[in-house]
Amino acid sequence: MTKKNPNALAPDHWIWSKFDELNAQHFRGQLEPPQEILRLQSTTWAALTVNTMANGTPCRLIWLDGEALDTDPSVAADSLLHEMVHYELAAQANGDGDQTHGTRFVVRADEIGRSLGLPSCCLPGFTAEQHLQIARIWPKVQRQAVQITSAK
């Protein structure tokens, strides 16, 4: 008998329906649900882990900030969307679990960002390292930029 992870979110938690909604909206419904979505008990916003099980199939787990899940659903949903981009790229690479925020991530994040009316991860006058930093917190930083610009 497999012991249930105490950090796993129940199947009726709102984040599972948000996964389905984002999957349909941005990934054509092609992402299989992860084995679990888990609550992080640390200050890390989110993570995707990909492990290979004994039978060779990938086991994907999405970890999200527990405080955001309880107090700020929009931040939790943005973190989920970010991890879903990693998830899609890992699936395309046959489950390699690449967690970088390099060119493939930025291109896909920008495609989704355009559909949401968000600015690009690659801003004129910024260095490659600054673009990497921006991609690491996509789409949260882009939403903040839109809010600041709209408030002016």
Residue 11, token pair as written in the block: 């199947």
81, two tokens: 């969307």
* Domain residue extents for the chain: 1-97, 100-152
- Whether residue 3 is predicted with pLDDT greater than 70 in this model: the reply is no
Sheet holding 36-40, edge to edge: 36-40, 58-65, 46-52
Q: Which of 65, 114, 108, 68 is nearest to 84 (CA)?
A: 108
For the domain made up of 1-97, the CATH class stated in words is alpha beta
pLDDT over 60 at 89, yes or no: yes
pTM: 0.85
Query: What's the whole-number mean pLDDT along residues 113-141?
Result: 85
